[in-house]
Amino acid sequence: MPYDSSLVGTELGPFAYDIDPGWTMAYAAAINDTNPRYLDSLKSPQLLAHPVFPVCLVWGAMREMDRKVKNSPLTSDEAVRRVHATQDMMLHRLIQPPEKLSMRAKVIRVEKRRPGTYMVTRYDLQDATGAAVSTVYWGVIYRGVDVAGADRSAADLPTLPAPAKWDGHPRGEFGVPISATLAHVYTACGRQANAVNIHTDTSVARRAGLPAPILMGTATLALSVSKIVTAEAAGDPQRVARIGGRFGAMVLMLSEVTVRIMTREKLDGQEAIFFEALSAEGARAIRDGVVVLRS
């Protein structure tokens, strides 16, 4: 059955979260990031969550969105064909555990694309005072699923910056080993409620048309951001203001990912680090990647 574009404008939340240091430390440990800002309360005056950590909160809100989708005309086999396609995160500040946060979600776009139906949901994270913490634009594709109704949009999508030039010579390359159990560790440490999915279970992956469980795009993104914070931000994650990119090639386990930092450019008084992540086969698992650093 087609995906119903009338879901555009659907709002959910607020969803309440109690962020404890154990959660944020476990997330950093899952991606093997030993930056003391995430792990060492003696060296750090205030522990911080990894810049990609807000995806853990998106997962919680996404469960309610999934219920909406499952109540639509989609069959269960069609609903499981969802793959993460794009992500754009504006980080107004990093999460500082322990603290209480809330999130609201809104479907802002549904459109027909060649691979299937593309849906974008915006997730707005706020602190106890109502101040913005992060804004996440999360794009997914339901592969092989048509759209019922016209393409719809409830809000404009921000445009990812692109490099003005690149001479083909990377600023740096980093090999990142992908263990056979990384998806399971990442799921558990991130406290994802749906632990049996295309990333962890072979039968679910096959049902979705995948050859085997694949690593989450957010895990590949977090691994990439960790390398960029170390190499380009002197290890200071608080400089990260924005993270974006498009997910492409599958990352299988056991394998290796190559994070390639392409170029660094000035951008509206900030610094934009453009990168890509390559699978073991040399295909782009993340393309059009960018991390914007505060000056």
pLDDT in tens, 149-166: 899 999 889 999 999 988
> pLDDT under 70 in the chain at which residues?
1, 69-73
* CA distances (Å), origin 279, targets 88, 223, 247, 283: 21, 13, 11, 5
pLDDT at 69: 66
Question: With a threshold of 0.85, does the pTM exceed it?
Answer: yes
User: What CATH number is attached to the domain comprising 158?
Assistant: 3.10.129.10
Q: How many domains does the chain have?
A: 1
pLDDT at 186: 98
Within 10 angstroms of residue 263's Cβ, the number of other Cβ atoms is 17
Q: 177: part of which helix (H) or strand (E)?
A: strand 172-178
Domain that holds residue 112: 3-293
Helical H segments across 40-103, by residue range? 55-70, 76-79
Nearest to 101 by CA among 135, 65, 62: 135
pLDDT at 72: 64
